Amino acid sequence: MVVKIAISDPAEIIDQRIVEVAAYVNKSRRALVVTGAGISCSGGIPDFRSSDGLYNLVKARHPKTVLKGAELFDATLFKDANRTKCFYTFMAELKTLVSTAKPTATHRFLRDLQESGRLLRLYTQNIDDLEAELNLPVVQLHGTMATVKCTLCPSSYPFTSEYVDAFRQGDPPICPKCEAIGEERSLLGKRQLAVGTLRPDIVLYNEDHPNGDKIGLQQCSDIKRRPDLLIVLGTSLKIPALKKFVKLAARTVHENKNGIAILVNKTAPTKEWENVFDYQIMGDTDEWVQMTESKLADKPLLTAEWTRMLRRKAEFQRQQQKSTEEEEDDDEKENQTTVRLKKAKMSSTTTATTKRKAASGQTTLDGYKVTKLKRALSTSKGSSSSSSSQSLSSTKKAVK
């Protein structure tokens, strides 16, 4: 059964449920965590779609280019020069915001999980790289704004203010390595090769992740280690590949005796996730962290709650077992009744058939064979006697 909690509800309504979740977190030893943009908003990265957000800023700078927000993260924009300029302007403003942003309470909570030995792996869809400020190991599913990379060669460089200024004008800088190779070839009198430009080291829609295979192997490895807790924070889970991984992780977690899956997000999930998460907590991730941390600090409360939960779970299992046994008994009785009815019906049918045959004078097959045999013998004897009498009569006539 899914437990739904709205953080905005009064404390007396949700407090018990928050304690339950905290008890599970406290007992976890191999937690998988997946995070999205919702955990970074309070750190200084606002919603892109707000009235003063980045999307409107880009539109103001490039009024002649019609471009939806989502298209700024689509690799197909590089096919159009004007859209490409919009992209680089957007990246420059985003980097400026990221550079001044700070880790949130949710980031620090995840760092505490890691330091206490409870965190198996942290996967993030975010590109802000705020985890690095806390030395928090993370698998970056969509890349990072900490570096820029060449569009042709594998070179990458720190995303410095120099590159931010170039991007803000809508013109990507030349890759230093490609430029150096070109100069060297020119001195040697060789023909010039194509020169790459720099772009943020992030993964856009409609392009492959350069570390996709490596991430896939990491996910397989984590699943094999049988995680006992799944926490999804600040994301609506729209990306197909991530949805698949989260569902697999949840199934693996539920194979553990006390494993549960938790979702914390401002937006309620669709029905697709009804049987995936045990707890759906609607609200800000920082608020949930604050509530949970206060419970985690109360060890006697956690111990008492865990004991109560185990007792309640054992009672529920006993009730299920009893219900199952009763259903099995009912099924057995029903089967026995069905067998008796079938036997009675067969007996009744046999008796009725025998009576009909007797009424019509029909004998059994064996009786029929015996009767024919007797008749055959009787006929044979009659024929023999007649032949003997005729022979004797002929003899007497001859004597005379």
* pLDDT of 51 higher than 70: no
Tens of pLDDT, residues 84-99: 998 998 899 899 989 9
Q: What's the DSSP call for residue 160?
A: -
DSSP element (H, E) containing 150? strand 143-150
Averaged pLDDT for residues 53-59 = 65
List the strands of the sheet with 279-282, edge to edge. 3-6, 279-282, 260-265, 229-233, 31-35, 119-124, 139-140
Query: Which one has a higher pLDDT value, 173 or 376?
Result: 173
Averaged pLDDT for residues 237-249 = 95
Q: Residue 40 — pLDDT band, cuts 50, 70, 90?
A: very high
Q: Residue 127 — pLDDT band, cuts 50, 70, 90?
A: very high
pTM comes to: 0.77
**Between helices 285-296 and 11-27, what is the axis angle to 10°?**
70
pLDDT, mean over the chain: 85
Nearest to 246 by CA among 267, 230, 270: 230
Catalytic residue among 62, 107, 142, 209: 142
Task: Pick the range with the lowest mean pLDDT from 13-22, 94-103, 135-144, 342-351.
Answer: 342-351
Q: What's the DSSP call for residue 375?
A: H
* Three-state SS letters, 68-107: CCHHHHEHHHHHCHHHHHHHHHHHHHHHHHHHHCCCCHHH
Q: Is 142 a catalytic residue?
A: yes
pLDDT (0 to 100) of residue 323: 73
Nearest to 138 by CA among 114, 160, 156: 114
Nearest to 257 by CA among 323, 322, 317: 317
Task: Pick the range with the lowest mean pLDDT from 20-24, 267-271, 281-285, 377-381.
Answer: 377-381
pLDDT (0 to 100) of residue 400: 42
What are the angstrom distances between the C-alpha of 174 and each of 75, 160, 338?
Answer: 19, 14, 84
- What share of the chain has pLDDT > 70, as a percent? 80
pLDDT (0 to 100) of residue 222: 97
Query: Would you give the distance in Å from CA 309 to the centre of its chain?
Result: 26
Neighbours of 349 (CB within 10 A): 10
Separation of alpha carbons 202 and 210, rounded Å: 10
Task: Pick the range with the lowest mean pLDDT from 43-47, 136-140, 169-173, 346-350.
Answer: 346-350
* pLDDT of 389 higher than 70: no
Would you say the C-alpha torsion 37, 46, 207, 162 has a positive or negative sign? Answer: negative
Task: Pick the range with the lowest mean pLDDT from 158-162, 330-334, 360-364.
Answer: 360-364
Please answer whether residues 229 and 32 qualify as being in contact, where contact means their C-beta atoms are separated by less than 8 angstroms: yes
Tens of pLDDT, residues 259-273: 999 999 999 999 999
CA angle, residues 97, 99, 100, in degrees to nearest 5: 70
Please answer whether residues 148 and 201 qualify as being in contact, where contact means their C-beta atoms are separated by less than 8 angstroms: yes
Question: Is residue 355 left, alpha or beta, with left meaning phi > 0 and alpha meaning psi from -120 to 50?
Answer: alpha
Tens of pLDDT, residues 286-302: 999 999 999 999 999 99
pLDDT (0 to 100) of residue 48: 61
Query: Which one has a higher pLDDT value, 387 or 217?
Result: 217
Helix spans in the chain (H): 11-27, 54-61, 81-100, 105-115, 161-168, 176-187, 212-224, 240-254, 285-296, 299-359, 365-399
pLDDT (0 to 100) of residue 360: 60
Extract the tokens encoding 79: 């096919």
